[in-house]
Amino acid sequence: MSGAEIFLHALEAEDARVVFGHPGGAVIHVYDEMARVQPNFEHVLVRHEQGGTHAAEGYAKATGQVGTVLVTSGPGATNTVTGIADAFMDSVPIVVFTGQVPMPLIGNDAFQETDTLGVTRSITKHNYLVRSPDDIPRIVHEAYHLARTGRPGPVVVDLPKDVLMAEGVFQFDEEIHMRGYSVPDECDEIRLRRAVRMIEKSQRPLLYVGGGTINSNAAGVLTEFARHMNIPVTTSLHGLGAFPEDDPLSLGMLGMHGMWWANQAVQHADLIIAVGARFDDRVTGMVDRWAPHAAVIHIEIDKSCISKNIYADLAFNADVKAVLERLRPLVKPKKVKRWLNKIQDWRDECPLTYADDGELRPQYVLERLRAKSGGDAVVCTDVGQNQMWAAQYLKYTQPRSHITSGGLGTMGFSLPAALGAGFGMRAYGIGKTVISINGDGGFMMNAQELAVASAHKIPLKVVIMNNNFLGMVRQWQELFHENRFSHTDLTDTNPDFVQLARASRCAALRAESPDQVDDVIEKAWEINDRPVVMEFRVVKEEMVFPMVPAGKSSDEMITSRHAPETFV
């Protein structure tokens, strides 16, 4: 059979239920075989390859399975680069198959030739150039294995056109033989005993939980561990949902736009147990002054993250779930009433607030969305203010219920990610509503994928927080650039979002004042045969607070635009 047909069978062997793709010359034989063979996966024709990669990310994050992308060579491949980089930063398991010019033409500046391996080398866990059709099953199998194991991430497989056309045999070997790749498991008795001593000694312990906990499917074990130990939990942006935010031990998110009390807890803790987290600069602010009194235990699958930003006094380079399961029976509950009381005082001192003055504010919209969904939803957020408010005001109680672009901060992520999550819900029979939260700027960056959602009747609830500004940049311009709003005002250039949505065959609703919000949400929840876009015309000048200004430390948070001049 042809390399193209072998490739389709290799995808079936990986149980790739949904493939987000876009055809072109280099992969035309694969698309031809798809029409002929009718493989048992669903191919979704995205309208831009970047959308395809984010859709694969959303699918992967919502289901815990590997996402799959198929594109042509040259521009098809380069259009995936942002999504690949995004998946690399955020540890999302996706495999991207790129067409390539025929092998004899590689290096000739052939039509639609790009050095895809070169371009993606630094943003993939691994990448392959396939040289023979017989190698396809092994390489595809390795690619999925690499993407999902250890610290998950993207893998690229470059498929030259002549390899897809050549004849070969489909031979599938379940076993993986890869030299030089293994998943670390540094969790020995000595480390465990040291961890127990450090936990016993501490009086102000804090769990700092990141997305690695969700990747490791360890949210349940972590929750049980924290409750058993009576240790408060703060999460990074990607850790949201790893620990239920309605639990009294939950402090919510920490970091730049985290909860004031969570950052206070960090600054006063005497022990930080970092679980599947990487001490990103949005978490730590100025590293020299972060958690000055705390010893650090770091549980992390990626060795390169250990002691990179924050020194770990004790490290487990191992799977989060495995370590927590072994540690749990060795530790006794902590008596930390004074510590918990102190945190409660901080909560009371500086709660999250916004003005209640009759204007339509994004925080109110999010509170009403939360009331409607009851937390039983998968929420995909974009980048900017909408992302931070959604992290603050939608309370997450389940793993895989919050999906965002954290590391790369990719505007245009939310809508295609939600599309992928929607397909994931369908493929795995998960009955959750998928909500996509967007700013008006970011929405325009991948708005073309609305048509795909409506074509497939994916009932996304798409929210546009329209402040007619690139809001987060506007916020920085107001705070740090003396109100010079250079190229951030979109008032006269935004489209009519309701018309745009209707032109894409979606339902569309708009609210312009707080009293219209519930009505719009109610109506949106009644529509389940297509996507529905809700435009909320919110005030322009709202800012996200609290905030650690860039380069400041976690105890220098500002809480309003009139707050101390610490940041000037």
Full DSSP string of 453-503:
HHHTT---EEEEEE-SB-HHHHHHHHHHSTT--TT-B-TTT---HHHHHHH
Confirm whether 161 is a catalytic residue: yes
Count, residues near ligand TPP per rule CB under 6 A: 19
Four-point Cα dihedral 18, 21, 24, 26, nearest 10: -60
In terms of CB distance, is 439 or 546 closer to ligand TPP? 439
- 83 lines the binding site for ligand TPP (CB under 6 A): no
Distance from the Cα of residue 69 to its chain's centroid:
17
Confirm whether 334 is a catalytic residue: no
Among 53, 68, 385, 401, binds ligand TPP (CB under 6 A): 385
In terms of CB distance, is 382 or 556 closer to ligand TPP? 382
CA-to-CA dists, residue 360 to 240, 485, 538, 540, angstroms: 26, 22, 5, 10
Q: What is the C-alpha to C-alpha distance for residues 287 and 310, in angstroms, rounded to an integer?
A: 7
In terms of CB distance, is 383 or 452 closer to ligand TPP? 383
Residues 167/1, Cβ–Cβ less than 8 Å: yes
- 414 lines the binding site for ligand TPP (CB under 6 A): no
Contact window for ligand TPP (CB under 6 A) among 61-69, 249-257, 382-390, 415-423: 382-390
Residue whose tokens read 């500002």: 558
- 416 lines the binding site for ligand TPP (CB under 6 A): no
To the nearest whole angstrom, how small is the minimum distance from the Cβ of residue 92 to ligand TPP?
A: 17
Contact window for ligand TPP (CB under 6 A) among 20-28, 318-326, 454-462, 464-472: 464-472
Question: Interhelix angle for 81-89 vs 49-63, to 10°?
Answer: 30
In terms of CB distance, is 143 or 415 closer to ligand TPP? 415
Query: Which of 50, 65, 100, 112 does the annotation list as catalytic?
Result: 112
- 406 lines the binding site for ligand TPP (CB under 6 A): no
Strand partners, 209: 235, 275
Closest by CA position to 50, among listed 408, 417, 404: 417
To the nearest whole angstrom, how small is the minimum distance from the Cβ of residue 491 to ligand TPP?
A: 12
Query: Which of 5, 14, 33, 49 does the annotation list as catalytic?
Result: 49
Among 354, 469, 497, 536, binds ligand TPP (CB under 6 A): 469
Query: Which of 161, 321, 432, 461 does the annotation list as catalytic?
Result: 161
Give residue number: closest CB to ligand TPP. Answer: 439
To the nearest whole angstrom, how small is the minimum distance from the Cβ of residue 391 to ligand TPP?
A: 12
Sign of the torsion formed by the C-alpha atoms of 464, 465, 469 and 470:
negative
- E-assigned strand segments in 2-117: 18-21, 42-45, 67-71, 94-100
Among 78, 112, 250, 410, binds ligand TPP (CB under 6 A): 410
* x-or-dash string of contact with ligand TPP, 474-503, rule CB under 6 A: ------------------------------
Among 114, 216, 234, 386, binds ligand TPP (CB under 6 A): 386
- 383 lines the binding site for ligand TPP (CB under 6 A): yes
- 470 lines the binding site for ligand TPP (CB under 6 A): yes
Confirm whether 344 is a catalytic residue: no
| 3-state helix vs strand vs coil in the chain, percent to 5 | 40, 15, 40
Residues 76/20, Cβ–Cβ less than 8 Å: no
In terms of CB distance, is 276 or 384 closer to ligand TPP? 384
In terms of CB distance, is 99 or 546 closer to ligand TPP? 546
Residues 77/393, Cβ–Cβ less than 8 Å: no
Among 30, 94, 324, 465, binds ligand TPP (CB under 6 A): 465
Residue whose tokens read 């010019």: 101
To the nearest whole angstrom, how small is the minimum distance from the Cβ of residue 468 to ligand TPP?
A: 8
Among 3, 420, 471, 546, binds ligand TPP (CB under 6 A): 471
Residues 433/461, Cβ–Cβ less than 8 Å: yes
In terms of CB distance, is 54 or 298 closer to ligand TPP? 54
Q: What is the C-alpha to C-alpha distance for residues 433 and 165, in angstroms, rounded to an integer?
A: 42
To the nearest whole angstrom, how small is the minimum distance from the Cβ of residue 430 to ligand TPP?
A: 28
Confirm whether 111 is a catalytic residue: yes
Confirm whether 186 is a catalytic residue: no
CA-to-CA dists, residue 379 to 352, 369, 508, angstroms: 21, 11, 19
Query: Which of 34, 89, 411, 472 does the annotation list as catalytic?
Result: 472
Closest by CA position to 390, among listed 445, 437, 443: 437
- E-assigned strand segments in 176-329: 205-209, 233-235, 250-253, 271-275, 295-299, 314-316
Contact window for ligand TPP (CB under 6 A) among 164-172, 290-298, 467-475, 507-515: 467-475
Which structure tokens are listed for 147? 């993407």
In terms of CB distance, is 251 or 465 closer to ligand TPP? 465
- 79 lines the binding site for ligand TPP (CB under 6 A): no
In terms of CB distance, is 210 or 384 closer to ligand TPP? 384
* End-to-end CA separation in angstroms for the chain: 67
Residue whose tokens read 């935010």: 245
Full DSSP string of 169-202:
-----SS---TT--------HHHHHHHHHHHHH-
* x-or-dash string of contact with ligand TPP, 423-462, rule CB under 6 A: ----------------xxxx--------------------
Among 274, 411, 427, 517, binds ligand TPP (CB under 6 A): 411
In terms of CB distance, is 155 or 415 closer to ligand TPP? 415
Rounded to 5 degrees, φ, ψ at 123 are -125, 20
Catalogue the active-site residues.
Answer: 49, 111-112, 161, 472
Q: Which residues bind ligand TPP (CB under 6 A)?
A: 382-386, 409-411, 439-442, 465, 467, 469-473
